[in-house]
A and B are shown apart, each in its own frame.
Chain A
Amino acid sequence: MIASDVELVERCLAGDPISQRAFVETFQSSIFGLCFRMTGQREDAEDVTQEVFARAFRSLAGWDAERPLRPWLMMIAANCCRTALSRRARQPVPSELVEDFPDQTVAVPHGDFAETVQTALMTLREDHRTCFVLFYEQELSVTEIGAVMGCPEGTVKTWLYRARRDVADFLRQRGYGESDEQ
């Protein structure tokens, strides 16, 4: 627990606008980072980030001060991302997006490596992706991810394993690492 977190939350609950601003400023980057990695789109990520803060402020009184604030916010963010993604999944995929999706038989240049990893992430199951992003992008520990996602550490490790395996397969299918022979 960070004492300043408690103080910040208390001031926010008291309705102090400066503290509310500080709250958003403090966490907006990391929350947006998670949302951006999860949704893959800036506009969606901004909307979800805004929703995260709205929910956070709404639920701030229920935050357990004995627990760190950031994972709690990440938990809300992960849930909001989940909601946004499920909402998006119910919408038809625009044809141009389908056309943009690279053919699996085409090797992607290394300059697009990061983009390919992000594309691979978007093919993952949502909870696997959440695990992956929380672990690698947010650098949360397995224990913290378990708390965020409400599941045991063993489950987190399993999901991480599967996420890594699927991303690695995705990369291999696109030619990454194929030139290196034993």
Chain B
Amino acid sequence: MDCHQFEEQLNDRLDRRLSPSSSALIEHTRNCPPCFQMLKGAIVLQKGIGIWRSQPLPVIDIVDRVLAQPVPNETDAYETDSASVYSATQSAPIDFSSIDNPGNGTGPTSCADFLICRAERSADENPERVRSRKALVGDVTLLVVRDGKRPVSAPRPATSRLNAGSASWLALFASLAGMWFVLARPAVHSVPLPGKSALNSGLIGSNAPDTASLATNSANNRLVQTDDRTHEKTGGPESVIEDVPQSPSDLAHMIASASGAYTRIAIETSAAADDFRLLLPTRLPFISTNSSDDVPNSTLPTGQNSRGMKQHESETEAIPLQDTMHEALEFFWKAVPGVPHAST
């Protein structure tokens, strides 16, 4: 055994929570003072860890303290440290079983609020090994996967098709360089939407098609989903149903007028770039460039509370919200070729 093998075996034993002092390792140290010191350090460390672990922790009972604070429910989850939540809800790729069984899984909430958030990947994270993630940010569920199919260049529109002053824009997502977006799942679906159906978890997956959009409407309690891949097969839509948004403003209007019906918007993206940032636009249709947490009650749709968005305290470059919204809308809509249609 040479010193390299010694160190490997020592670390392997420690990783497996075994005693560092095996006969083979001890034998090697008899004629190797540096490895002897290493082994001795490992033994001391192990003893120290044992004593450290045996130290009793302070006894706490914070149950009442936890429960005394307002427990955010699904319609009250606005104050969100998005970066933490983002990394806190990493998940495997989601299956599609709930498409056919809408009662499965977690479902949409009844709030149409959106948050602005920003999530950044750890500098230590190996971009080649990033697994699928899902972030629950307020009422927006964001699924991020690395299973990208597209080059990671986010086109930036040369001109704006959006009306900056309008209060009825919905920004679904903002893309910075190195990201691309995919929404939803293949084929056209119009499925019953129970109160807690698996809207997102059933619709989004790492092998999602290029583009699609989804929306829900509580008025008829239907989930409407469109997919441009269907168009590729059929040569074009056979029909257009009312619930499918025809433009960003359409979608925004539908969301705004649904009074809490449009809930989670799931977005799938490739996160191949090192500069990995996610931006979710904020409460709509009341877009404001003011980053204040307070949103006047008078601007809130029915069913929404008065708690405003909370922008994540990021040390990265601040992007004016209005610009972000425009970029988000522009890019999102550009990513959906043509007008989304659906057959019934």
Which residues 1-60 in A have Cβ within 8 Å of B in the complex? 13, 15, 17, 20-21, 24-25, 28-29, 32-33, 36, 42, 46, 49-50, 53-55, 57-59
Flag if A155 contacts B126 (CB, 8 Å).
yes
| Interface residues of chain B: helix, strand, loop or mixed (majority) | mixed
Flag if B69 contacts A50 (CB, 8 Å).
yes
Flag if A113 contacts B81 (CB, 8 Å).
no
> When chains A and B are docked, how far (Å) is the Cα of A136 from the Cα of B52?
10
Flag if B65 contacts A83 (CB, 8 Å).
no
Closest CB of chain B to A81's CB: distance in Å? Answer: 10
Q: Is B241 an interface residue (CB 8 A)?
A: no
Q: Which of B69, B109, B133 has the most CB of A within 10 A?
A: B69
Flag if A117 contacts B92 (CB, 8 Å).
no
Which residues 60-118 in B have Cβ within 8 Å of A in the complex? 60-63, 65-67, 69, 71-74, 77, 80-81, 84-85, 87-92, 94, 105-107, 109
> When chains A and B are docked, how far (Å) is the Cα of A37 from the Cα of B244?
52
Q: Assess A113 versus B51: contact at CB under 8 Å? Given A58-B72, A155-B124.
A: yes
Flag if B52 contacts A113 (CB, 8 Å).
yes
Q: Is B240 an interface residue (CB 8 A)?
A: no
Closest CB of chain B to A53's CB: distance in Å? Answer: 5
Q: Is A76 an interface residue (CB 8 A)?
A: yes
Size bin of chain B's contact surface: 35 or more
Q: Find chain A residues with CB under 8 A from B133 CB.
A: 150
> When chains A and B are docked, how far (Å) is the Cα of A138 from the Cα of B88?
17
Q: Assess A171 versus B41: contact at CB under 8 Å? Given A20-B71, A24-B63, A59-B88.
A: yes
Interface residues of B (CB under 8 A from A): 11, 14-15, 29, 33, 36, 40-45, 47-49, 51-55, 57-58, 60-63, 65-67, 69, 71-74, 77, 80-81, 84-85, 87-92, 94, 105-107, 109, 122, 124-126, 129-131, 133-136, 141
